[in-house]
Amino acid sequence: VLIVIGIAYIYFDTFLVQKTISGKFTSDSDTQYLSFDFKSRDSVVVYDIYADSVFTAKYVIEGEMIKLKQQENTILMIRDNQTLVGEGFTKGVYNKN
């Protein structure tokens, strides 16, 4: 019975509960994107340090992964509510301010 309850909880937490993210996340690493400021349900303001510009993009959350719609290769993994881990151009650790 405990195994069934455990599996049901993991399934519920992974597939049925929609993840959300909000606030500003910055990196101390030498990355292309210095910060991500999640404003609304699907909008994020990104500061690009190499181009010295700021742009707004739409994003989707798929499981533990955040994908920017404008740039499909921009992927962030949600470690917890305070930390995002970037891959590819966003490689680095982003902490919530």
Rounded to two decimals, the pTM is: 0.76
Rounded mean pLDDT, 2-22: 76
Q: Quick check: 13 pLDDT over 60? A: yes
Both tokens of 81, joined, read: 């509510």
Note the helical H segments in 1-97. Answer: 2-11
What pLDDT does residue 87 have? 83
* pLDDT tens for each residue of 52-86: 899 999 998 887 888 888 766 678 888 888 999 98
